[in-house]
């Protein structure tokens, strides 16, 4: 349908190589450059990336594998990453594996067949769903939000433990001694980290440390609401609660409203993610925020550097010899947005 380089060559009377050179930023005589540009315009020529990909063995396409697309935190990262990659000429193929390791394997395999140049992933399962295959083929893999010990690749992490620890310490500093936590699923990496942060803060401060103060939700709105209720039932005298993801924060707040508990007079609350929700809450919620844009940016750039850097063409053998390539692990700091949901107990507000 569309015009090809051949057409441009014919039209301009130049050789194929010259056109190719022009297209790839090579040196072309001024006179010819003009002719070529004219022909391109007239013939509506557009490079066929597919053919180019076949030849160069690079598709200029990045695969993205995530647990859930309909989760604001993930969606925000993806949106941003896609934007950056596209501005560098890379297309993205997104695969939502619905937190299912089986589907995750399929997705990775699918992307491998599609010959994507690299991968950005937020792993779901515990064992490698096929990332090694990419690495062995010299294709970069960047892991987000989570690390896997048996896959040596770049990682962009968030200091989840530190974030939780910091949040809980703020509560402690404000004079709270009986602090509940709505934790996430045990099999989720970040959930474990956040819980560890809570425990660290609690233990270091020597305040009440009771198992009944930690209730596990499943990262959903309903789960957060149920957890809040159980937490309150088991600990009527609890003065503060830390909720460890967005959906559960929404659920917990709804439950708090329903129980008629006043925030922060009767209960202090620190939530997670989503500043929009925090701002709309009354009183405005204090929350831990994750640097989604920064995560995406780091991930995309790490990938692009590996992709375009001079060490791009790496021998599969050589990597095996090395045992591991130079990989980077970036741990980003979380933020904290102060609201009015934490009551200061030990001195006047």
Partner DNA sequence: ATGAAAGCGCTAACAA
Partner DNA sequence: TTGTTAGCGCTTTCAT
Contact predicate 197/164, CB 8 Å: yes
**Judged by CB under 8 A, does residue 18 bind a second copy?**
no
For residue 74, give the nearest of 249, 250, 247 by alpha carbon: 247
Instruction: For residue 171, report the phi and psi dihedrals to the nearest 5 degrees.
Output: -65, -40
Out of 110, 207, 293, 340, name the contact with a second copy by CB under 8 A.
110
Q: Which is nearer to DNA, 55 or 310 (CB)?
A: 55
Q: From its phi and psi, is residue 274 left (phi > 0), alpha (psi between -120 and 50) or beta?
A: left
Q: Which is nearer to DNA, 29 or 279 (CB)?
A: 29
Q: Which is nearer to a second copy, 96 or 154 (CB)?
A: 96
268 binds, among a second copy, DNA, none (CB under 5 to 8 A by kind): none
Q: How far is the CB of 26 from DNA (least distance, A)?
A: 6
Give CA–CA dist 147/60, Å, rounded: 26
**Judged by CB under 7 A, does residue 47 bind DNA?**
yes
Helix extents (H) in 88-151? 101-113, 131-136
Contact predicate 209/179, CB 8 Å: no
Give CA–CA dist 151/137, Å, rounded: 14
**Judged by CB under 8 A, does residue 34 bind a second copy?**
no
Site pattern 4..33 for DNA (x: CB under 7 A)? xxx------xxxxxxxxx-xx-xxxx-xx-
The stretch among 27-35, 145-153, 166-174, 244-252 that binds a second copy (CB under 8 A) is 244-252
13 binds, among a second copy, DNA, none (CB under 5 to 8 A by kind): DNA
Out of 6, 29, 114, 312, name the contact with a second copy by CB under 8 A.
114
**Judged by CB under 7 A, does residue 56 bind DNA?**
yes
For residue 225, give the nearest of 196, 256, 195 by alpha carbon: 256
**Judged by CB under 8 A, does residue 322 bind a second copy?**
no
127 binds, among DNA, a second copy, none (CB under 5 to 8 A by kind): none
Q: Which tokens hold the place of 193?
A: 């980290």
**Judged by CB under 7 A, does residue 48 bind DNA?**
yes
For residue 269, give the nearest of 248, 240, 296, 297 by alpha carbon: 240
Q: Which tokens hold the place of 163?
A: 């974030």
Task: Catalogue the long-range contacts made by 111-115 (C-beta closer than 8 Å, 24 or more residues apart).
Answer: 111/63, 111/65, 114/59, 114/61, 114/63, 115/53, 115/57, 115/59, 115/61
Contacts with a second copy by CB under 8 A lie at 1, 46-51, 53-54, 59, 61, 68-70, 72, 75-76, 78-79, 82-83, 86, 91-96, 98, 107, 110, 112-115, 137, 220-222, 224-225, 247, 250-251, 253-255, 257-258, 276-277, 279-282, 316
Contacts with DNA by CB under 7 A lie at 4-6, 13-21, 23-24, 26-29, 31-32, 45-48, 51-52, 54-57
């Amino acid at each position: 349908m569309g015009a090809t380089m051949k057409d441009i060559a014919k039209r301009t009377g130049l050789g194929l190589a010259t056109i190719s050179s022009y297209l790839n930023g090579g040196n072309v005589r001024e006179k010819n450059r003009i002719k070529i540009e004219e022909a391109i315009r007239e013939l509506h020529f557009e490079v066929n990336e597919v053919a180019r990909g076949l030849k160069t063995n690079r598709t200029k396409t990045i695969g993205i594998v995530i647990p859930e697309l309909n989760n604001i935190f993930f969606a925000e990262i993806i949106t941003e990453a896609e934007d950056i990659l596209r501005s560098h000429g890379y297309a993205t193929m997104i695969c939502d594996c619905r937190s299912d390791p089986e589907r995750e394997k399929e997705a990775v395999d699918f992307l491998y067949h599609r010959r994507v140049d690299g991968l950005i992933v937020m792993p779901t399962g515990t064992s490698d769903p096929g990332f090694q295959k990419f690495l062995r083929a010299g294709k970069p893999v960047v892991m987000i939000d989570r690390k896997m010990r048996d896959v040596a690749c770049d990682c962009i992490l968030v200091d989840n433990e530190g974030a939780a620890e910091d949040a809980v310490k703020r509560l402690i500093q404000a004079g709270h001694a009986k602090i509940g936590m709505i934790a996430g699923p045990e099999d989720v990496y970040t959930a474990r980290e956040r819980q560890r942060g809570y425990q660290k803060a609690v233990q270091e401060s020597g305040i009440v440390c009771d198992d009944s103060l930690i209730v596990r939700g499943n990262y959903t709105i309903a789960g957060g609401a149920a957890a809040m209720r159980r937490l309150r039932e088991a600990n009527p005298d609890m003065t503060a609660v830390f909720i460890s993801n967005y959906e559960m924060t929404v659920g917990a707040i709804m439950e708090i409203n329903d129980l008629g508990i006043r925030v922060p007079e009767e209960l202090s609350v620190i939530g997670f993610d989503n500043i929009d929700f925090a701002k709309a809450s009354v009183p405005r919620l204090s929350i831990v925020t994750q640097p989604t844009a920064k995560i995406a940016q780091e991930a995309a750039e790490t990938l692009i550097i590996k992709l375009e850097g001079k060490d791009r063409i790496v021998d599969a053998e050589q990597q095996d010899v090395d045992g591991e390539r130079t990989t980077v692990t970036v741990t980003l700091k979380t933020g904290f947005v102060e609201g009015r949901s934490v009551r200061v107990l030990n001195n006047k507000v």
